[in-house]
Amino acid sequence: MRAPTGIQIRRKRLETGLSQAALARAVGISATYLNLIENNKRAIGGKLLVRIGERLGLDLDQLSGVSEARSIQVIEELLGDPAMRGIVFEQAAIRDLVARFPEAGIAMTRLYRLYQDASANIESYINRLRSDPLLSQMLHQVLNRISAIRSVAEILEHEPDIPQADERRFVVTISRESEGLTDALKSLVEYFDRTASTQRPVSPLADLDEAIIAHRNHFPELENVADDLRKLFPEELSARTLAQALEADFGISCEELEPETQTAQRYFFDKASNRLLFRTSVSNSTRLFQMVQLYAQMAARDAILETVGSLRLHSPEANALAERAMAAYVAGAMMMPYERYLQDAELLRYDIDALGRRYGTSFEQAAHRLVTMRRKGAEAVPFGFLRADRAGRLSKRYPLPGLSLPVSGYGCLLWPIYRTNGDNTFVRQVAEFPGGERFLLIARTVAKNSHSFRDDAPTYSVMLACDLMHADRTVYADAIDLRHRGVPVGPSCLLCPRQDCGHRQERNA
């Protein structure tokens, strides 16, 4: 669904006391066209959006509609939940609600997150009740004690002529079973307390994703930090120069893991020995990126922690994830400096493989850097980003205005991210979403190196998306008819209104 930019323009215009005709004259368009924009019937962007923003005193970030589009998407997903079955809420009404009352949209988003977390917790406990042998044993002990107490109590209640000796024996039995029941319940409570204290919140990663999306995946202060750190390396960044810098500045050595080391990790930092350890199978691009990331984490810790604090996350786990993510952001900006990378991206028409070769990065690293390039006045082609594992579950969601990506779970089966064939071949698609938005989607498989015959290396599919109005600036639009209607797709089966789709796996509410 298109972000409610027009409604925001209308609201701000009325607040300032401007008539439609006056604003239209000020920005050089007709009042009729402005009326269509304000009713969200015409998309707006580029210089016209800048002129309107300047005339109304609105920042472009406020007019981009990214935050509102995210709220709209979450509310759509909420209404698609089976619990909401029978509640009819038109898409236009959702858009108007979020545009007129943005805080209400944020509140509904947070409530839905809490509902998702609570549902996941309930499902987790149900699974534990079914599969945890220790918990099952404790519950059986409790039930057996209760049954014994009840049986003895029934005898005492219904047998009036019980000999005194038997009555005393029954009372002793009740006392003994009650003590046993108390002990069993104490053990059960302690077990729950112990496991609850180590249980992580359900969605720290989702919490972080939402915060990054709210910042449009761009952090100017970290870009500046990366520029300053990059100046410390007069030579090109390389494994050799980073190893020397880590050793000299922080006493960290970079070493190879012994082949017989039993660990599923391909690289990790051992704080105890101050060593960054790699398997021999780790690619050069990954090795260099991890070294730069660790250097950034050490050298720019204060700036990274300040940025993490500004995200206002809701758990220590989310903050820990954010610290690593922000260090990775600085690393990407160090390896692919903004101005030079943007210049090369335009020169190479956003050929990600060519950019990766030029900067010594992997395909995913080069692609992800493009997504972060949102500097005012110097933006790259706006790309959305998505990654799927072999089971199809989505991660690293970075949407665009009008590009609906599901908040959790799986996406549309017709997306090219589900049609990659395991090699380096691109799958391209002109896609049309239910609201009429059209995007160029490109996807390919990315795989990690195996370190042995028995190693099952992780494999993912990565998909990028750009609005069709920008597609011809990229090599990926070559030999594609961009005027073609496109493949009719949706965000996910649960959220998609295309009831006649032959690929539908789930009906929405």
For residue 48, the model assigns a pLDDT of: 86
pLDDT band at 201 (very low <50, low <70, confident <90, very high): very low
Residue 224, SS3? Answer: helix
Co-location of 254 and 287 in the same domain: yes
Residue 344 lies in a domain: no
Residue 431, SS3? Answer: strand
Co-location of 452 and 507 in the same domain: yes
- Check whether 257 has a pLDDT greater than 80: yes
Edge-to-edge strand ranges of the sheet holding 427-432: 394-398, 384-388, 459-467, 438-447, 427-432, 487-488
Instruction: Report the chain's C-alpha Rg in angstroms.
Output: 29
Q: How far is CA 298 from CA 121, 160, 171, 324, in A?
A: 36, 80, 68, 11
More confident residue, 415 or 93: 415
- Give the integer Cα–Cα distance in Å for 188 and 184: 6
Q: How far is CA 370 from CA 65, 145, 366, in A?
A: 20, 64, 7
- Give the integer Cα–Cα distance in Å for 7 and 174: 71
Instruction: List, for residues 46-85, the tens digit of each pLDDT value.
Output: 788 888 888 888 776 666 666 677 788 788 888 877 788 8
Q: Token pair of 379, please? A: 């933006």
Which are the contacts of 437, defined by CB distance < 8 A and separation ≥ 6? 2, 402, 403, 467
Co-location of 470 and 493 in the same domain: yes
3-state helix, strand, coil in the chain (%, to 5): 55, 10, 35
Q: Which of 198, 220, 246 is the last residue of a domain?
A: 198
Instruction: List, for residues 430-484, the tens digit of each pLDDT value.
Output: 999 887 889 999 999 998 777 666 667 788 999 999 999 899 999 999 999 888 8
Q: Token pair of 361, please? A: 């990065």
Average pLDDT, the chain: 85
Residue 375 lies in a domain: no
Q: Token pair of 12, please? A: 């701000």
Co-location of 448 and 496 in the same domain: yes
Co-location of 331 and 224 in the same domain: yes
More confident residue, 4 or 165: 165
- Give the integer Cα–Cα distance in Å for 399 and 446: 20
Query: Cβ distance 480 to 427 under 8 Å?
Result: no
Residue 341 lies in a domain: no
* CATH classification of the domain holding 275: 1.10.10.2910
pTM for this model (two decimals): 0.72
Co-location of 210 and 263 in the same domain: yes
- Check whether 374 has a pLDDT greater than 60: yes
Q: Which helix (H) or strand (E) holds 446?
A: strand 438-447
- Give the integer Cα–Cα distance in Å for 432 and 438: 4
Co-location of 167 and 275 in the same domain: no
Residue type, position 500, single letter: D
Co-location of 54 and 150 in the same domain: no
pLDDT band at 290 (very low <50, low <70, confident <90, very high): very high
Q: Which helix (H) or strand (E) holds 388?
A: strand 384-388
Instruction: List, for residues 486-508, the tens digit of each pLDDT value.
Output: 899 988 887 788 888 888 877 65
Residue 401 lies in a domain: yes
For residue 21, the model assigns a pLDDT of: 92
Instruction: List, for residues 407-442, the tens digit of each pLDDT value.
Output: 767 889 999 999 997 777 899 999 998 878 899 999
Q: Which of 300, 335, 370 is the last residue of a domain?
A: 335
Number of alpha carbons in the 13 Å side-chain half-sphere of residue 370: 31
Pairing of strands 459-467, 487-488: unpaired
Of 64, 435, 53, 366, the residue nearest 214 (C-alpha): 64
Co-location of 504 and 389 in the same domain: yes
Co-location of 153 and 52 in the same domain: no
Co-location of 194 and 209 in the same domain: no
Residue 240 lies in a domain: yes
Q: Token pair of 73, please? A: 């998407």
Residue 66 lies in a domain: yes
Per the structure, how many domains does the chain have?
Answer: 4
Residue 230 lies in a domain: yes
Residue recorded with tokens 């047998």: 159
Which are the contacts of 354, defined by CB distance < 8 A and separation ≥ 6? 348
Instruction: List, for residues 108-159, the tens digit of each pLDDT value.
Output: 888 888 887 787 777 767 766 666 666 667 777 787 888 888 888 888 878 8
Q: Which domain holds residue 140?
A: 132-198
* CATH classification of the domain holding 83: 1.10.260.40
- Give the integer Cα–Cα distance in Å for 106 and 67: 9
For residue 448, the model assigns a pLDDT of: 78
Q: Which of 153, 171, 198 is the last residue of a domain?
A: 198
Co-location of 326 and 388 in the same domain: no
Residue 411 lies in a domain: yes
Could you write out the three-class secondary structure of 457-476? CCEEEEEEEEECCCHHHCHH
For residue 357, the model assigns a pLDDT of: 95
